[in-house]
Amino acid sequence: MAEKIDEPQVRKVAKLARLELTDAEVQEFTGQLSAILEYVEKMNELDTGNVEPLAHCLPISNVFRKDCVKESLGTEKTLANAPQRDGEFFKVPKILDDSSGA
């Protein structure tokens, strides 16, 4: 049977993940993680010898379009619906000011 997760392990993982957990959260996660391990252990009992490994549960194929060179839209069509423009450029709100250090 799978080894149960204990509170010190949960606290260690929380520290590594830089998470601050309350004592109640540690207890809750300890129980949840232990339940997950028990479920995985149950799944390990299944005979999967004749099951072929899958990358995906459904038969899918590449759905990408053909990569072909096309004519560009051009500046006027590209900027036609722009909320604001400055000549041949999109005008966007300023997000950094002089004191930002960027």
- Residue-wise DSSP of 17-44: TT----HHHHHHHHHHHHHHHHHHHHHH
Percent of the chain's residues with pLDDT above 90: 57
Output the pLDDT for position 62.
Answer: 76
Model confidence at 1: pLDDT above 70:
no
Output the pLDDT for position 102.
Answer: 60
Distance CA 44, CA 50 (A): 14
Q: Which residue has the higher pLDDT, 14 or 63?
A: 14
Model confidence at 26: pLDDT above 90:
yes
Domain 7-44: CATH architecture, name and number where available: Orthogonal Bundle (1.10)
Output the pLDDT for position 2.
Answer: 52
